Chain A
Amino acid sequence: MSLLFRSRQSGAQQVKISAVRRLLMFFVHHLQQAVASLGELVRYPLASLMTMAVLGLSLTLPATLYVVAKNTESVGAKWQSAAEITLFLRTDLSEQEVATFRKRIALSAEIEQVEWRDKAAGLAEFRESSGFGEALDALPDNPLPDVLIVTPVASKQNSASAQALLQRLLNEREVAEARLDLDWLERLQALLNLVRDGFLGLAVLLCTAVVLIVGNTIRLNINSKRDEIMVMKLVGATDAYIQRPFLYTGIWYGVVGGVIAWLATALLLWWIEGAVIEVTELYASQFYLAGLSFAEMLVVWGLAVGLGLVGSYLAVKKHVASIEPR
């Protein structure tokens, strides 16, 4: 391509490269420059590894937090499904009426099981645990209602169905009050949201730091090659041509940094797994700490490569253009 000399393309002694060839060479050059950039990195292994480690370890923290949040959510989902409805019956019902009501609702197709806690047993328990024994004796009669604990069938255990069932039970004549104990679930949900938001904020901060660190490293690379860049510009290299090796350097930082993030995340999870199992054993629940899935590993890798590329792109955009031959 000659701007000034139209005839240069066709002259007998002139430069001739076909369009197809040019396109092919474009990809070959990309490959060559990618490999050349890798070679350059291998020549200074310690410096390169440090930048890669910064990138990888910066991604490890959000990745680990993500895994923890993911596992907590799966646990939360399990607990949420075990919803129970507590029915407080009217205090003026006779024992006969309570027993009939209990049998009637136990027949419902939506209900798995009904547990009865009669008011006398409730009072005894309260007397024992509260320490108001003598005060309770002063009462003319038992103020506590009979309580039925209703467990819905498995398919109706999600929050919406349980709410619907709750409404239906509330309409029963015998029921004074009904509660679906979702408070602690809501608290857990709020905690999860906190963890997730914190994880997002932290991830954004760390990613920004990674971009700046990679950008600075590439800037130093560019400065150390100032003379070479100047010469290349003098003989007609475009900015894009000069930038390419630096962009590949950024990509390689990401490729290796991503792998470091995988390893470090796995290591960290292995480290905390013991503690997590100890906690869950106290709650007598079977628990398995799930690591990063294959798709999530790819996301981490893609993120690492993307950050490396963005960091190097910012650096080359600013600094390659500013180097002008003298």
Chain B
Amino acid sequence: MIKFEQVSKTYPGGFQALNQVNFHVEPGEMAFLTGHSGAGKSTLLRLIGMMERPTTGRVLINGHDLRKITRKQIPYVRRDIGMIFQDHRLLMDKTVLDNVALPLLIEGYSMQEARKRVQAALEKVGLGDKLRHYPMMLSGGEQQRVGIARAVVNKPPLLLADEPTGNLDPKLSMEIIKLFEDFNKVGVSVLIATHDLGLIARMRYRTLTLKEGRMINDGLQESEL
């Protein structure tokens, strides 16, 4: 589903964020991406979401080389990828309904049609009764779940999450990860970047570890099982 071939990323100024990274996440797989701050986790996700282009190497999604995607096509790529952020990136002056409906409206749904799907997505994350609320009125965990609802509302085959549990306590974090597991069970590929090693230790998923831009571990961390 996601394939990196010898990918390096050097930022203007000379900082090398990724160095010769190779890995392959299979369709329907769920994997964690870990490493210290600055190890290149965010850069790796940004390359998949096409917010950056690699300096060298190839990134493939579902067999399609992202180098062949033009600037104009990037929005259509992003519609296939649900992205979740640590700071959830909600629009604070819009209701939960409007926030979650945004990807659908962009694709050309009417609000009427979008509403049903928004309702379903919010039910899924346990916020079915918060349609009319503004993000400010919700707790941090709830805001993060609104972000997840927005990412899955158009049923993308691929979910990326950048530190989705960064601001949450362990119990809430576990709930969020459980949500990702639910999506994974219906066939969505999931890649979660986190430095919460305790959280990963409790799960039996493949873990990709980055250190100073290099992939130093690509598989289950047996020692931590």
- B46 CB, min distance to chain A CBs, angstroms: 8
Assuming the contacts A13-B155, A25-B108, asked whether A4 and B91 have C-beta atoms less than 8 A apart, the reply is no
B110 within 8 A of A: yes
Interface size class of B (residues with CB under 8 A): 20 to 34
**B residues less than 8 Å from A326 (CB atoms):** 51
User: Out of A4, A25, A233, which one reaches B80, CB within 8 Å?
Assistant: A4
Q: Which residues of the partner chain A approach B79 to less than 8 Å between Cβ atoms? A: 2, 235-236
User: Closest residue to A324 on the B side, CB-wise?
Assistant: B51
Beta-carbon contacts of A20-57 to B below 8 Å, as 1s and 0s? Answer: 01100110110000000000000000000000000000
| Residues of chain A contacted by B90 (CB below 8 angstroms) | 231
Known: A1-B76, A325-B51. A8 touches B109 (CB 8 A): no
Tell me how far the C-beta of B222 lies from the nearest C-beta in chain A, rounded to whole angstroms.
33
Check B91–A231 contact: CB distance below 8 A.
yes
Query: Which parts of A142-189 form the interface with B (CB within 8 Å)?
Result: none
Which chain A positions have C-beta within 8 A of B110?
A: 25, 28
Q: Which residues of A are in contact with B by a Cβ distance under 8 Å?
A: 1-5, 8, 13-15, 17, 21-22, 25-26, 28-29, 227-228, 230-239, 241, 324-326
CB-CB nearest 8 A-B residue pairs? A236-B79, A236-B78, A235-B103, A238-B75, A237-B106, A236-B75, A25-B108, A3-B76
The proximity string for B residues 2-43 relative to A, scoring 1 for CB distances below 8 Å and 0 otherwise, is 000000000000000000000000000000000000000000
Q: When the two chains form the complex, which single residue of B77, B102, B103, B109 contacts A4, counting CB atoms closer than 8 Å? A: B77
Residue of B nearest to A28 (CB): B110
Bound-state CA distance A67–B64 (Å) is: 63
In the bound assembly, the distance between CA atoms of A8 and B77 in angstroms comes to 12
In the assembled complex, the CB of A150 is this many whole angstroms from the nearest CB of chain B, namely 75
A13 to B120, CA, bound (A): 13
B69 touches A3 (CB 8 A): yes
- Residue in contact with A3 in the complex, picked from B80, B154, B155, B157, CB distance below 8 Å: B80
Please report the C-alpha to C-alpha distance between residue A25 and residue B112 in the assembled complex, in whole angstroms: 12
Check A232/B157 contact, CB under 8 A, given A2-B76, A3-B80, A325-B51. Answer: no
Contact across chains for A17 and B108 when beta carbons are under 8 A apart: yes
Q: Are A234 and B49 in contact (CB under 8 A)?
A: yes
Check if B56 is an interface residue, CB within 8 A of chain A: no
- Smallest distance from the beta carbon of A34 to chain B beta carbons, Å? 15
User: With A3-B80, A5-B157, A231-B91 known to touch, is A236 a contact of B103 (CB < 8 Å)?
Assistant: yes
Contact A232 B106 (CB under 8 A): yes
> For the complex, what is the distance from the CA of A239 to the CA of B91, rounded to whole Å?
18
The reply to whether B108 and A232 contact each other, CB–CB distance below 8 Å, is no
Cα separation A102 to B20 with both chains bound (whole Å): 109
**CA A201 – CA B215 in complex, angstroms?**
66
B51 — nearest CB in chain A belongs to which residue?
A325
Residues of A within 8 Å of B102, CB to CB, are 231-232, 235
- Cβ A15 vs Cβ B107 within 8 A: yes
18 A–B contacts, CB within 8 A, in A order: A2-B76, A2-B80, A4-B62, A5-B157, A8-B80, A21-B108, A22-B108, A25-B108, A25-B109, A25-B110, A29-B108, A227-B91, A228-B91, A232-B106, A235-B83, A236-B107, A237-B75, A238-B75
Closest to B42 in A: A326
Contact A4 B75 (CB under 8 A): no
Contacts of A14 in B (CB 8 A): 155
A25 to B157, CA, bound (A): 25
> Which residues does chain A contribute within 8 Å of B109, judged by CB atoms?
17, 25
- A234 to B108, Cβ gap below 8 A? no
B61 within 8 A of A: yes
* B73 within 8 A of partner (CB): yes
B150 contacts which chain A residues (CB < 8 A)? 235
Does B133 interact with chain A (Cβ within 8 Å)? no
Apart from A3-B69, A3-B77, A233-B78, list 6 A-B contacts with CB within 8 A.
Answer: A4-B62, A4-B77, A228-B91, A237-B75, A239-B75, A325-B49
Instruction: Considering the complex, give the chain A residue whose CB is closest to the CB of B83.
Output: A234
The docked-state distance in angstroms from the alpha carbon of A8 to that of B108 is 16
**In the complex, A5 Cα to B83 Cα: how many Å?**
17
Q: Whole-angstrom distance between the alpha carbons of A29 and B106 in the complex?
A: 10
Q: Which residue of B61, B80, B89, B154 contacts A234 across the interface (Cβ within 8 Å)?
A: B89
User: Across the two chains, which residue of chain B brings its CB closest to A230?
Assistant: B89
Answer whether A5 and B80 are a contact pair too, CB < 8 Å, given A15-B154, A231-B89, A236-B106.
yes
Chain A hits for B80, CB < 8 A: 2-5, 8
* CA of A85 to CA of B39, assembled, Å: 98
With a cutoff of 8 Å between Cβ atoms, the chain B residues found around residue A233 in the complex are 75, 78
Q: Which residues of B contact A236 (CB under 8 A)?
A: 75-79, 103, 106-107
